[in-house]
Amino acid sequence: MNNNYSIKINGTLQADVDKDAFNEEFNQWLQTKGWTFTGATSSLANKEIDEDLQVQDIRDRLLRLIKQRGLQKKYVAKELGMNYNNFITFLSGNRNDTYTTKERLL
């Protein structure tokens, strides 16, 4: 039985160290666990953090509304005037279309 799992992390972390120090400590911690990380880290300006939190809030509210009311995602995308595939990309948390979608929703 294989007990390896892949976990996607999507969010913002606030720390009291800069990106380089964080990366070093994060990688050391991963090594002590025998885990690996594939991805990238970057520093964000306060404005970017606020925008990321706004986008995540919109995404969470839409997903709750869709689930609570049993709405079809195609219908919601149409009502928002959005391409269905872009809407699904936004809901999935993929950052490729996040800011375009946020501008439409705000």
Terminal C-alpha separation, the chain = 47
**Residue 31: per-residue pLDDT:** 92
Buried b (16+ CB within 10 A) or exposed e, 44-71: eeeeeeebbeebeebbeebeeeeeeeee
Greatest mean pLDDT among 8-17, 47-56, 96-105 lies in 8-17
Structure tokens at 85: 């595939």
Closest CA to 103 of 58, 70, 41, 45: 58
Give me the sign of the Cα torsion angle 17, 20, 21, 25: positive
Its pTM stands at 0.44
**Residue 33: per-residue pLDDT:** 92
Per residue in 44-85, pLDDT (tens digit) is 776 666 677 777 778 888 888 899 989 998 888 888 888 888
